[in-house]
Homo-oligomer: A and B are copies of this chain.
Amino acid sequence: MAEGPRQSPRPWKVLDSRYSFIDPWIRLRGDTLLLPNGQVQARCHIFEYPDWADVIALTVDLNIVLVDQYRHSVGQTRTEFPAGVVDDGEEPLAAIKRELLEETGYASANWHLIGTAPVNPARQTNRIHSFLALDARKVAEQNLDEGEIIRAYELPWSEFVAQVETGGIELPALQLAGLYLLQTYARRSADPRLAVLRF
């Protein structure tokens, strides 16, 4: 991104800050705030997440690499792009290369950062980093965490796009953002291989 968002003086003063809940994937922080109008707001809750990353991984034949997995939060098997958490001190690119390899066994030597954005600044602290990987190919078996059941498979790009548009595949909203970023990236790129990715 060429410029960041507009900075502003912080209009809310933090009077007190404490954690209600901590695990490796989130810290839930309650701040007591002095608002600009002089009022005190108790326990404004902030979700401190690590950054996230996801990837639109395409083979040389323009198949997209997808993962189906059971998501306990919604009680369904969902289709998603490979994605994961950026570990502390890790670069987003390193994180998504690791996640792609673990979840699918695929690797690529041709990576593009297509965009990065705050996930949901209304309550969350973190950003998502979206990548495109070209020439992805299977180089290993999956290496899943205990309890993970992930089906990784390829689908022709055109069929994938048609299924997303007709509802046969319903991506998470966060990953629809990746499709928008890909469109913008492909339109601005001189690489002829990216032209075919435009809708």
Say which residue of B20, B44, B147, B165 sits within 8 Å of A72 (CB atoms): B44
Chain B binder among A90-98, A104-112, A135-143, A176-184? A176-184
- In the bound complex, residues from chain B placing their C-beta under 8 Å from that of A35 are 146-147
Q: Is the CB of B167 within 8 A of A121?
A: no
Chain B binder among A4-12, A58-66, A189-197? A4-12
A123 at the interface (CB under 8 A from B): yes
Q: Is the CB of A166 within 8 A of B3?
A: yes
Q: Is the CB of A165 within 8 A of B149?
A: no
A172 to chain B, nearest CB (A): 5
A83 to B173, CA, bound (A): 14
Known contacts: A78-B5, A187-B199. The answer to whether A11 contacts B174 by CB under 8 A is no
- In the bound complex, residues from chain B placing their C-beta under 8 Å from that of A46 are 72-73
Q: Can you give 10 A-B contacts (C-beta < 8 A)?
A: A10-B75, A11-B149, A23-B45, A41-B147, A80-B121, A117-B170, A118-B172, A127-B173, A174-B177, A176-B176
Other 18 A-B pairs with CB < 8 A, given A5-B79, A5-B170, A71-B122: A3-B167, A4-B170, A20-B20, A20-B21, A23-B45, A33-B72, A36-B149, A74-B121, A74-B125, A117-B173, A117-B176, A119-B172, A119-B173, A120-B172, A122-B172, A173-B174, A177-B180, A180-B180
